[in-house]
């Protein structure tokens, strides 16, 4: 390559072009920078550290616990299984191995009270037959643990009141596992009915929860607190309460127990009950242990209706609204119901806030269940106790 002299015209042109380029890229005082400082975009959001996961003891390793609750921990952000309580040690060991629970953290019903000495347990989840809810909730609270109890909260209103009192005495939180209050479809239905009044004033509600139950099953045992209203009808009555925001004033009911089906020696096969609310809303509910599956409700308003079908299932819920001659379906993102309710309770414990469905919510439902049983037995309308 030949060196060019300073006076070479080609070199002078190159230098002039470079000067022009530098001048055009000069930054005025008011011009924004073209590259972010420190190579970090100013709108870059850095992730927060994950919240601390509270430790949960699952009490009872039946079908619901193994098929729904234990797998749900994988979707939790603030909850993790740290202990198991079961009367079947071999099953408990297998479950512990599958979910990374220390085998030393397996308890049985005899040494259950020893959870008081286990700092890895913050919360216990009672997933036992209905007749055992009160005892193991009270013992869990007295052991210094917060308690999530499956619905129905207990067999009697008196037991519910004892559970609430035990939580207050222990200064621990008590929540009832109404999973539908923590998932988006039923939350949206509440907004539509109570806040937006999307179909006008509510006139009536029709709710149905039916399935075919095969014996043996704890749902069919009176001694264990079984029965169609207690197990699945409670979804209908709880929905009527949360969709209206009211407490029913009275109940009428009819129960059927066929003589030719040995499954129903102790509990009714089917129950239909009607709730009358102070505003004038009437909720017609039915539940059955010997019918094709149906889990739905419809809220009839002055201007249309809100439909949820299915409404009470673990997944696949569908919500639609008809107003005038136009029907639309709401597309919402599903969540794991059990993960959502467990994380809600973990958040409440960590932040020292009351849960959305405290013991008082469970007590309200059990009072209605008691009134329903009396109405079916006497054939009369029964006032709901307050």
Find the length of the chain: 386
> What is the pLDDT at residue 37?
66
Ordered by start, the domain boundaries in the chain are 54-180, 184-332+358-383
Domain spanning 184-332+358-383: which superfamily? Dihydrodipicolinate Reductase; domain 2 (3.30.360.10)
Active site residue 39: no
> What is the pLDDT at residue 27?
60
Active site residue 182: no
CA dist., res. 288 & res. 269, Å (int): 6
Residues of the chain with confidence (pLDDT) below 70: 1-27, 29, 36-37, 39
**CATH ID of 54-180, from 3.40.50.720, 3.40.640.10, 3.40.50.10150, 3.10.20.30:** 3.40.50.720
> What is the pLDDT at residue 324?
87
Catalytic annotation, pick one of 125, 136, 235, 314: 235
The most distant pair of C-alpha atoms in the chain lies apart, rounded to whole Å, by 117
For 164, the 3-state DSSP assignment is: helix
Q: What does the pLDDT look like over 28-79, one tens digit per residue?
A: 767 777 776 676 777 888 888 878 999 999 999 999 999 999 999 999 999 9
DSSP assignment string, 187-249: HHHHIIIIIS-TTSSEEEEEEEEEEEPPSS-GGG-TTTT--HIIIIIHHHHHHHHHHHT---S
- Please give the torsion angle defined by the CA atoms of residues 211, 209, 340 and 87, in that order, rounded to the nearest 10 degrees: -40
CA dist., res. 124 & res. 367, Å (int): 25
Catalytic annotation, pick one of 151, 178, 242, 314: 151
Say whether 184-332+358-383 and 54-180 share the same fold: no
């Amino acid at each position: 390559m030949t060196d060019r002299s300073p006076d070479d015209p080609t070199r002078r042109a190159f230098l002039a072009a470079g000067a022009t380029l530098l001048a055009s890229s000069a930054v005025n005082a008011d011009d924004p920078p073209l590259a972010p400082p420190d190579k970090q975009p100013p709108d870059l959001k850095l992730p927060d550290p994950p919240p601390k996961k509270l430790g949960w003891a699952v009490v009872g390793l039946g079908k619901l616990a193994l098929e729904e609750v234990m797998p749900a921990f994988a979707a939790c952000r603030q909850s993790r299984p740290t202990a198991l309580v079961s009367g079947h040690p071999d099953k408990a060991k297998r479950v512990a191995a599958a979910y990374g629970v220390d085998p030393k953290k397996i308890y049985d019903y005899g040494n259950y009270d020893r959870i008081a000495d286990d700092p890895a347990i913050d919360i216990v989840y009672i997933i036992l037959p209905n007749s055992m809810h009160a005892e193991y909730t009270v013992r869990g609270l007295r052991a210094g643990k917060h308690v999530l109890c499956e619905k129905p909260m207990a067999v009697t209103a008196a037991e519910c009141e004892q559970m609430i009192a035990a939580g207050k005495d222990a200064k621990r939180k008590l929540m009832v596992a109404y999973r539908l209050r923590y998932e988006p479809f039923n939350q949206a239905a509440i907004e539509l009915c109570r806040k937006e009044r999307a179909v006008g004033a509510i006139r009536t509600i029709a709710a149905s929860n039916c399935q075919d139950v095969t014996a043996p099953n704890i749902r069919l045992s009176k001694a264990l607190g079984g029965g169609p209203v207690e197990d699945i009808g409670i979804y209908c009555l709880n929905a009527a309460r949360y969709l209206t925001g009211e407490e029913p004033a009275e109940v009428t009911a009819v129960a059927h127990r066929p003589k030719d089906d040995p499954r129903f020696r102790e509990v009714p096969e089917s129950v239909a009950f009607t709730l009358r609310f102070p505003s004038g809303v009437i909720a017609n509910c039915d539940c059955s242990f010997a019918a094709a599956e149906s889990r739905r409700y419809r809220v009839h308003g002055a201007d249309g209706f809100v439909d949820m079908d299915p409404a009470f299932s673990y997944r696949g819920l569908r919500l639609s609204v008809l107003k005038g001659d136009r029907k639309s379906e709401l597309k919402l993102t599903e969540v794991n119901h059990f993960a959502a309710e467990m994380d809600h309770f973990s958040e409440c414990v960590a932040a020292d806030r009351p849960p959305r469905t405290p013991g008082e919510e469970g007590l309200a439902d059990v009072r209605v269940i008691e009134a329903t049983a009396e109405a079916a037995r006497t054939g009369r309308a029964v006032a709901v106790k307050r």
